[in-house]
């Protein structure tokens, strides 16, 4: 079965944030094989500001799952790790977002690829640029580094944190 290269964003702002990210990375197997993990960054919350700060990282995986099947697996992992429903953009124990599924462009009621808000998010673009600086966004036609460098706020203020990844 053929494998597809996928980029995922992981975030946590409740409980032991580092442990939540480590558990999520481990839980991706066997559906996904993690090939690279960015450094972890601490960031202020976006959109809904009255909540704790986030730990964020990006990982590169390969998978044989189709895009919707992968999305369902990510939601299953979130639930298994203790994520409960809450306000959109609100606090969460773990968040797994599908950023890119190779260079696929897809828009369904359930899934939009590439992730529709990734180009405005320093907490995604900064770690993603460490893994895939020259990856070209399939609809915007710009590299991840170029998108990062065009952020309206100072992305270099994100603080790298050590979470002892395996």
User: pLDDT tens-digit profile of 43-94?
Assistant: 888 877 888 999 999 999 999 999 999 999 999 999 999 988 877 877 889 9
Quickly state the pLDDT bin for 155 (edges 50, 70, 90): low
Mention every residue, 6+ apart, whose C-beta is less than 8 A from residue 26: 166
Whether pTM exceeds 0.85: yes
User: pLDDT tens-digit profile of 92-113?
Assistant: 899 999 999 999 999 999 999 9
Question: What is the spatial distance between Cα 58 and Cα 163, in angstroms, rounded to a whole number?
Answer: 13
What CATH number is given for 4-117 in this structure? 3.30.70.560
Which of the residue ranges 59-68, 116-125, 134-143 would you say has the lowest mean pLDDT?
116-125
Q: Is the pLDDT of residue 8 over 70?
A: yes
Residues with active-site annotation: 83, 92, 95, 97
User: What is the model's pLDDT at position 48?
Assistant: 78
User: pLDDT tens-digit profile of 14-35?
Assistant: 999 999 999 999 999 999 999 9
Question: What is the spatial distance between Cα 16 and Cα 63, in angstroms, rounded to a whole number?
Answer: 28
In this prediction, residues 143-152 reach a mean pLDDT of: 93
Mention every residue, 6+ apart, whose C-beta is less than 8 A from residue 24: 10, 12, 77, 78, 81, 94, 96
């Amino acid at each position: 079965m053929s494998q597809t290269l996928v980029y995922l964003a992981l975030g946590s702002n409740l409980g032991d944030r580092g442990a939540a990210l480590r558990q999520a990375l481990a839980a991706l197997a066997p559906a996904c094989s993690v090939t690279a993990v960015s450094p972890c960054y601490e960031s202020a919350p976006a959109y809904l500001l009255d909540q704790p700060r986030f730990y964020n990282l990006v990982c590169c995986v390969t998978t044989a799952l189709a895009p919707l099947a992968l999305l369902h697996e990510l939601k299953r992992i979130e639930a298994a790790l203790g994520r409960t429903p809450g306000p959109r953009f609100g606090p969460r124990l773990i968040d797994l977002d599908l950023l890119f599924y190779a260079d696929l462009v897809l828009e369904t009621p359930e899934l939009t690829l590439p992730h529709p808000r990734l180009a405005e998010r320093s907490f995604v673009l900064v770690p993603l640029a460490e893994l895939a600086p020259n990856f070209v966004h399939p609809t915007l036609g710009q590299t991840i580094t170029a998108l990062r460098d065009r952020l309206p706020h100072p992305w270099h203020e994100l603080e790298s944190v050590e979470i002892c990844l395996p």
